[in-house]
Structure 1
Amino acid sequence: YFTDVKDSVKKDGTRVFVDGKLIGYHKDGEKLASSLRELRRSNKIHRHIGISIHIPEQEGATKRLYVNCNAGRVLRTLIVIKDGKSTLTPDLLDKILKKLLSWEDLIRMGVIELIDANEEENCFITFDDKHVKKHTHAEIFPSAILGAGASIIPYPEHNQSPRNTYESAMAKQSLGFSTPMMNTSTYVRQHAMLYPQTAIVTTRAMGLLGLEKRPAGQNCVVAVLPFDGYNIEDAIVLSKSAVERGLGRTLFYRIYESESKQYPGGMRDNFEIPNADDNLRGYKGEKSYRLLEEDGIVASESSVSGGDILIGKTSPPRFMEEYRELESSGPYRRDTSIGVRPSETGVVDTIILTQSSEGGKMFKVRIRDMRLPEIGDKFASRHGQKGVVGLLAKAEDLPYTADGISPDVLINPHAFPSRMTVGMMMESITGKAAAMRGKKVDASAFVGEKVDEVMSVMKDAGFKYSGKEIMYDGRTGKQFPVEVFIGVVYYQKLHHMVADKIHARARGQVQMLTKQPTEGRARGGGLRFGEMERDCIIAYGASMILKDRLLDESDKSDIFVCERCGLVAYHDVKQRRFYCRVCDKKGKVSSVSVAYAFKLLIQEMSCLNIAPRLLIKERV
């Protein structure tokens, strides 16, 4: 390839790739890259083309110029800087404010440039007004370097970076008012906060993301104070009175659906109230169908709980062979009704009758459940300070300030030292000041309002500059010997609620293969007693508990073993005797209690021509 290219150009020049394919060499790759970028800025080539040059650190390695035109590259907008000066001049800014220039005009003029991830490696970007000659681009706004999740954090530059990362993930789990089409939405699972509030300590990105119109949290009065150990290990204490007034109150919606399918032979599913007769299989009992109306669908606004049938439906047999089995008594039908999940309760909110994609009748029933915060529900501030509710305390038992203000949330002081979330302290102070002055505080990254300026409002209102106040114990009326840090912090309720996770079981289903309890809450499974739990019981010497958990209440099984050869024997039912295939009548067979999983292991090893032998002794 490229036999006409000089060896010196191949060695010292730059390889040029277009969409990953080598198209040639150039003796001065940096000049070529610069020329291509100028062509892009002057609209001679497409604005979405990415131009990046790779100059390797190793001596003698070939430089590479990549021109990417392919789809799927994420582009970000930057202001072009030439000779240390921004191309976005005061004159242009004035025209933008007067709406004489649009965003499209700025891109066409080469003031704004679209850069992909590869080209960004060649850029030297500043995020403030201090341009130097080395800079190639400037951020449009300093917090534009942050993603959607991180840009809602107030004063993020004052937090340890992992905390900002945690909040970026948790912000997606917060409950708010997700859509104005809530009443007609057909999402299978949906949450809605009943009294959402806009944050009084906000960022500019929150407005752009629509969190001013559809917020996902509430402003809480938060005191940093222990409370009888109920808020240790990141737990939080909530005011019961605040909860009764609507703090953290959400609605949970779930849609159950069923369609009527057409089968070969002219048979189809029927929506009806199943009747208990000999030709119906899977009948669930009269109590389960008590809420159904004549059409087989539950009545609107009915209170339902686990096991109640919402959509009554019967279906023909699965296979044609099943017809022939019962030809004398006539073909039977299966009960395929849809019921509420075992662990859920609620009220029938909406019933939708529609058509499936195949043209069959389809019913959708939406269940509504009001969720009040309870012990075990997860809350988080916007600084990665997450915690579960440890106690719902009466307002009269909570500490109060000299003005009679009782906090909504109590968090433990140990949440701060190692995590260094100073941004949360700043939010608490500025939140209190924002409440005093009746105006929101802008806490955007790098350019937010200075805390010193905001804190002067508190001083004028008669509050301490530090955000601390004298507080009194609500139970004794005595003053605390120290001042307490108290302010206003925006808290998010997350979708991890204890009502969706709580699970216990005594007896229930077992797996077909291993005869051990099934796994998971949805299948009514058992709780895993793992290796580490086993080791603790062994270390403690509680052998009867070990036997009870891992054998008696799990998968106890009796097998027959030949005492002479140690191989597994069996019971011949016809001859009414125990029989060993190796020893025949010479062996003595005994019954041994083992875990079914162990029996399965022996059988699987036997399949591989490995014969495990069990040495049996008399039980002591």
Structure 2
Amino acid sequence: DVHGFGTKTKVFLNGNWIGVTDYPEEVAAMLRKMRRKTLEFSELAIVKDDSLNEIRIHCDGGRCCRPLFTVGDEDLNMKKDHVEKLRVGEMKWSRLVKEGLVEYIDAEEEETAMIAMRVADLSRRISESPDCRYTHCEIHPAMILGALASLIPFPNHNQAPRNTYQCAMGKQAMGLYLTSYQHRMDTVTHVLHYPQKPLVCSRATENLAFKQLPAGQNAIVAICCYGGYNQEDAMIMNQSSIDRGFFRSTSFRSYKDTAIKAPPSRSAAQKDKSTEDLEVFERPVDGDTFKKFSPYAYTKLDDDGLPEPGVKVSGSDVIIGKTCRVEEVAQPGEIAQHRKMDCSKCLTRGTYGVVDQVILTTDPKGQRLARVKIRTHRIPEVGDKFSSRHGQKGTVGMVYTQEDMPWTCHGITPDIIINPHAIPSRMTAGQLLECVVGKIAARTGQEGDGTAFSETSAHEMRTI
């Protein structure tokens, strides 16, 4: 009956309308029961949209799903005996999913679910209505955060935009991005010389291997006005700390070039020319090559057109010498002056450093491929950008030697001085908590826990 479709509930599968039903509650409950009993359907998304009178089922790829505890009769379906079996190894994660104790929910289904942040919230009735009850519970409240936000200590004490800024700047953090960086030819990379594990970590750092490959260093920070060079978002840095290796890094930039081979020719007249390569890695020689750079630019190259590792390069030095063959064109009675043209590659303007690695190999097409990696030593200076893990970014306004820096009664001088006006308006109380917990961790030799929504209170910190 076409005229009766207005009162029926439409059912969609991956966006395709597959039918209607008069019993949407029973259909949705049956599908959810099937998902909780069968491991093959564990990633199925079931959305019952009352506003549009639709049931949408999704099983296609590319959906972000996350695990949640299932709730039945206003209590967790997972009991203490399940936790004990997990602890001793009698039960695995897949069994939790198969038995319906843990359920994967995607972003669209999450809009129609009632999720409790903590187990204690399940005992509190939201409303007397039977339709307004919790359906799921978070495994831990911090699991609502992504990978980058999970690395922020005490993010629940910060203003939301600051956490957003930190998620963007966390991708720019300098550290040790791979242990095999010396054998790679990435275009541009930066490696911090002395990366340190943070004194205040979150539980997510274990799973993200942030302790094994950290980004950043622990610093002694003073929050005070000192002189006038740390106004606004500027900061004062200790020159003696820089001399000891504070935030020193190495920048790597690689250059590559390919020598194109001549296509094979079947013509007897061109047989001799086809055996020669169109492009050759070599140092251009005066007389038969038209050079496009200064004669001094080729001094760092060997006869094979490549520099030796350890050679210093700067300015517009040529780092990959290459010539390409040109047809000999001359007027009648004259001799062609240039048989080759210079196709060399030089450094990017303003770049300097030391040749770190040179590789000569072939690409998948069988053509010769040259790669040169340049290493540059970077030392913090005025104008460099630094940031805490709370979106408090700033630039170095002045560098003072240690004797010109303030000190405590114990003779401790800070590495960085930031302005106190950066704290109240931005409301990054999480940074102040990290300072307190970091000092406790340094004094006691323990590791501070800055996991979001943790039970640690300011009173406990003050007592310690």
C-alpha deviations, 1:484-539, integer Å up to 9, x for none? xxxxxxxxxxxxxxxxxxxxxxxxxxxxxxxxxxxxxxxxxxxxxxxxxxxxxxxx
Which residue, out of 283, 299, 313, partners 2:308? Answer: 299
Moved more, 266-275 or 173-182: 266-275
Offset of 1:137 from its aligned partner?
Answer: 0.8
Which residue, out of 245, 253, 274, partners 2:284? Answer: 274
Query: What amino acid maps onto 1:43 in structure 2?
Result: T
Secondary structure of the 2:212 match is coil
Question: Equivalent residue for 1:263?
Answer: 262
Equivalent residues of 2:402, 2:413 under 8 A apart: yes
C-alpha deviations, 1:586-613, integer Å up to 9, x for none? xxxxxxxxxxxxxxxxxxxxxxxxxxxx
**Counterpart Cα distance in 1 of 2:335 and 2:44:** 74
Offset of 1:100 from its aligned partner?
Answer: 1.1
Structure of greater relative contact order (alpha carbons < 8 Å, 6+ residues apart): 2
- Tell whether 2:376 aligns with 1:369: yes
Normalising by structure 1, we get a TM-score of 0.69
Moved more, 394-403 or 447-456: 447-456
**Counterpart Cα distance in 1 of 2:107 and 2:436:** 38
- Structure 2 CA distance for partners of 1:45 and 1:272, relative to 1, 3 Å: closer
Return 5+ residue gaps in structure 2 as ranges. Answer: 126-132, 264-272
Question: Equivalent residue for 2:241?
Answer: 242
Query: What amino acid maps onto 1:118 in structure 2?
Result: E
Alignment of 1:156-175 (within 5 A): 156-175=155-174
Question: Equivalent residue for 2:32?
Answer: 37
Secondary structure of the 2:182 match is coil
Offset of 1:151 from its aligned partner?
Answer: 0.8
Offset of 1:45 from its aligned partner?
Answer: 5.9
- Tell whether 2:327 aligns with 1:332: no
**Counterpart Cα distance in 2 of 1:448 and 1:329:** 88
Alignment of 1:213-612 (within 5 A): 213-264=212-263, 266=274, 267-277=277-287, 279-317=288-326, 323-324=328-329, 328-330=334-336, 332-447=339-454, 449-457=456-464
Query: What amino acid maps onto 1:305 in structure 2?
Result: S
Return 5+ residue gaps in structure 1 as ranges. Answer: 57-61, 458-620
- In our comparison, the structure showing a higher alpha carbon Rg is 1
Equivalent residues of 1:433, 1:455 under 8 A apart: no
Question: Equivalent residue for 2:48?
Answer: 53
RMSD: 1.6
Query: What amino acid maps onto 2:389 in structure 1?
Result: R
**Counterpart Cα distance in 1 of 2:163 and 2:24:** 40
Offset of 1:358 from its aligned partner?
Answer: 1.2
**Counterpart Cα distance in 1 of 2:40 and 2:29:** 13
**Counterpart Cα distance in 1 of 2:86 and 2:294:** 71
Offset of 1:112 from its aligned partner?
Answer: 1.0
**Counterpart Cα distance in 1 of 2:95 and 2:328:** 73
Question: Equivalent residue for 2:266?
Answer: none
Equivalent residues of 2:284, 2:291 under 8 A apart: no
**Counterpart Cα distance in 1 of 2:447 and 2:70:** 33
Offset of 1:323 from its aligned partner?
Answer: 4.5
Question: Equivalent residue for 1:142?
Answer: 141
Secondary structure of the 1:219 match is coil
- Tell whether 2:130 aligns with 1:124: no
Normalising by structure 2, we get a TM-score of 0.92
Moved more, 23-32 or 361-370: 23-32
Moved more, 44-53 or 65-74: 44-53
State percent identity of aligned pairs: 37
Moved more, 327-336 or 120-129: 327-336
Secondary structure of the 1:334 match is strand
**Counterpart Cα distance in 1 of 2:18 and 2:439:** 63
Query: What amino acid maps onto 2:258 in structure 1?
Result: E
- Structure 2 CA distance for partners of 1:241 and 1:72, relative to 1, 3 Å: same
Offset of 1:72 from its aligned partner?
Answer: 1.4
Equivalent residues of 2:39, 2:97 under 8 A apart: no
**Counterpart Cα distance in 1 of 2:362 and 2:456:** 55
**Counterpart Cα distance in 1 of 2:159 and 2:443:** 29
Query: What amino acid maps onto 1:373 in structure 2?
Result: P
C-alpha deviations, 1:172-223, integer Å up to 9, x for none? 0000000010110121111101000000011111221111001001111111
Query: What amino acid maps onto 1:41 in structure 2?
Result: R
Question: Equivalent residue for 2:69?
Answer: 79
**Counterpart Cα distance in 1 of 2:40 and 2:279:** 60
**Counterpart Cα distance in 2 of 1:269 and 1:451:** 69
Query: What amino acid maps onto 2:64 in structure 1?
Result: V
Equivalent residues of 2:39, 2:98 under 8 A apart: no
Question: Equivalent residue for 1:545?
Answer: none
- Structure 2 CA distance for partners of 1:326 and 1:120, relative to 1, 3 Å: farther
C-alpha deviations, 1:136-162, integer Å up to 9, x for none? 111112111001111111111111100
**Counterpart Cα distance in 2 of 1:150 and 1:214:** 17
**Counterpart Cα distance in 1 of 2:455 and 2:245:** 31
**Counterpart Cα distance in 2 of 1:97 and 1:385:** 40
Which residue, out of 14, 20, 45, partners 1:25? Answer: 20
C-alpha deviations, 1:9-49, integer Å up to 9, x for none? x2322111111111111112122111100011011862221
Equivalent residues of 1:430, 1:455 under 8 A apart: no
Across the two proteins, how many residue pairs are aligned to each other? 442
**Counterpart Cα distance in 2 of 1:281 and 1:146:** 60
**Counterpart Cα distance in 1 of 2:438 and 2:310:** 41
**Counterpart Cα distance in 1 of 2:402 and 2:189:** 31
Equivalent residues of 1:39, 1:45 under 8 A apart: no
C-alpha deviations, 1:268-323, integer Å up to 9, x for none? 2111111122x422331221111112222111101111211111111123xxxx64
